Amino acid sequence: MKFLEHKAKEIFARYGIPVPRGVLASRPEDIVDPPLPCMVKAQVLVGGRGKAGGIRPAETLDEARRVAGQILGMDIHGYRVKQVYLEERLNIAKELYLSLAIDRSAREPVLMATAMGGMDVEDVPREELFMEHVPAMVGLQPYVVRSLQASLSLDKEIGDQVAAIARHAYDLFRKEDAELVEINPLVVTGNGRVVAGDAKLVIDDNAEYRHPEYANLDQDRTPLEQEAHEKGIVFIQLDGDIGVIANGAGLTMATLDALNLKGGRGGVFLDLGGTDDPEKVKQAFELLIKAHPSAHVFYGQVGDGGSDHAFWGPPEVNPSPRPSYAVTESCPGSDLTGEAAAAQTSPPSTAWTVWLPFPAPTSTRLAPASALFSRSRSSAILPPLAALPTFPPKSPPSISTSSTRTAASDLMSHSLSAI
C-alpha cells in the first residue's frame, strides 16, 4: 500500500515526526485558508513531481487558487492529479535524507541517511551514505543513533532532533508494517527546526488485514489490478502482449525474463500465490482475458504429476489433473476451441499447450501421454528449450524424441539463469 504525501504526513505526525502545516483541496474554490506563503503540491503516487511542474509556490490566496487550478488535472508520469496539498513554505537552511527500508538480501530493515538530501538517493556517492542494518529482534539501538548523528556532522541541537525523528520513524516502521519510510528532504530550517519536507510511506500488502483503516485509500492500480487485489491475486499490467500466469512471483519473473530473451514482451504479470484452487485459477484467466482479449497466454506451474513427455496441443487436452509445467499460448484469429480444435488434423490455430512434468518417472507416465495422442493428432513431443519458437508462435514445433525431463530441466535452468 502506497500513501499520498498528505496522508503519509498525517501518519508521521501521529508518531511524533514534525511536519509542516498544510491543507488538502480537490478544487480551487475549496481553498479558503492555506498557510501562506505556501507550496502547492500535486498529490500523486509517483516521484518526479517537481521536475514535471507539479510543485509550485504561491504568495497569496488568489495565486494559490490559480496555481492549484493549473496543477489539478495535470498528467504526471501517467497519473492524473486529483488533489493538491497546500503546505507552508519552509525557510530551508539544509536538506538531509533519512529512510528505513527492507534489505531483502540481508532480511533486515536498513537505516539510511545522508547530508546530501533533496536529491535521488541513488545518485548519492556510497561514501556519503550512512547505512546500518537494524535487526528486528534488537531494534534501533542508541549506538546506531549516535553513529547516525556523527555521520551527518550536525550541531548537537540539530543532531538530537534528527535522532528523535529516526527513533520515531523506526517506531512507525515496525508498528505500521512498513516496507519503506522515507523523508527526502528532511529539512533543517533557518531557525533550527528539523521538519519532514516530504514523506513517502509504503506498507506491506500482506499486512493489510491488520490495518483496515487504510483499506479504502487510493492506490496506483488500474481497474483490473484493483479487481485482482480484491480477489487476492497479484496482477500487474505491463506493456507487452503475452499474459503470464504462474504460481509464485519468482517463477513469474523468471518466465517474463525467458520470454524477453526469446523476443516476447510480457503484457500481464499474474501470480497465483501458491494456490491450486480451481476457482482462483479460473478468476486469473478471466482477469487476463479482460486485460487483453487478443493477447497470447503463457501459463506456468511447477508441481507434481503430468505425462512422460511434453506435448503441444489444444489447452483442453490435459494429460493430468495437476500438470507440472503447463504452457498455454492463445493464438487469435480462429473460432475453433476445445474438441473442435483437438479434432483438426492440422495444428490448431486457436491455442496450443505444452505439459512439462518436473521431474517425471518414465515408467509411470506413458499412459497419459498415449491418451493425449489419441485425442489430438495435432500434438507433438516438445523439443529442448533451444528449439522453442520465438513469440508469437506460428505453429507447433516439429516432432522430436527429446524427453520431458531434458526439456523441463532446460527450461528451468534457462529461467533461473535469467534471474
Per-residue pLDDT reduced to its tens digit, 245-281: 877 777 778 878 887 887 878 878 888 776 767 888 7
pTM of the model: 0.63
Give the mean pLDDT of the chain. Answer: 74
Question: Has 182 been annotated as catalytic?
Answer: yes
Please give the distance of CA 5 from its chain centroid, rounded to a whole number.
Answer: 19
Question: Has 29 been annotated as catalytic?
Answer: no
| Marked catalytic residue, from 5, 95, 97, 299 | 97
| Range from 118-122, 146-150, 393-397 carrying the lowest mean pLDDT | 393-397
Phi then psi for residue 23, to 5 deg, are: -130, 150
Pairing of strands 200-203, 178-189: antiparallel
SS3 280: helix
User: Who wins on pLDDT, 288 or 104?
Assistant: 104
| Marked catalytic residue, from 87, 176, 179, 182 | 182
Which range among 124-138, 285-299, 380-394 has the greatest average pLDDT? 124-138
Residue 95 has pLDDT above 90, yes or no: yes
User: Who wins on pLDDT, 146 or 286?
Assistant: 146
Element (H, E) at 68: helix 61-71
Give the confidence band of 404 by pLDDT, cuts at 50, 70, 90.
Answer: very low
Give the confidence band of 65 by pLDDT, cuts at 50, 70, 90.
Answer: very high
pLDDT of residue 348: 32
Per-residue pLDDT reduced to its tens digit, 134-182: 998 999 999 999 999 999 999 999 999 999 999 999 999 999 999 999 9
Per-residue pLDDT reduced to its tens digit, 203-230: 998 888 899 888 777 666 677 877 887 7
Only one residue has cell 480451481, namely 278
pLDDT of residue 19: 97
Contact indicator for 363, 403 with CB cutoff of 8 Å: no
pLDDT of residue 406: 43
Residue 399 has pLDDT above 90, yes or no: no
Cell numbers for 224: 483490473
DSSP state for residue 309 in the 8-state scheme? S
pLDDT of residue 196: 97
User: From the CB of residue 291, how many other CB atoms can be counted at a distance below 10 Å?
Assistant: 19
Per-residue pLDDT reduced to its tens digit, 287-346: 877 876 444 555 555 443 333 333 333 333 333 433 333 333 333 333 333 333 333 333
Write a three-state SS string for 46-62: CCCCCCCCCEEEECCHH
Q: Which letter, b or e, does each residue of 238-267 get, where b requires 16 or more Cβ atoms within 10 Å of its Cβ?
A: eebbbbbbbbbeebbbbbbbbbeeeebebb
Phi then psi for residue 383, to 5 deg, are: -80, 175
Query: What percent of the chain clears pLDDT 90, i.e. is strictly above it?
Result: 43
Strand partners, 25: 84
pLDDT of residue 344: 37
Spatial CA neighbour of 359 closest among 406, 297, 417, 315: 406
pLDDT of residue 57: 96
Spatial CA neighbour of 392 closest among 217, 240, 233, 229: 240
pLDDT of residue 358: 35
pLDDT of residue 296: 54
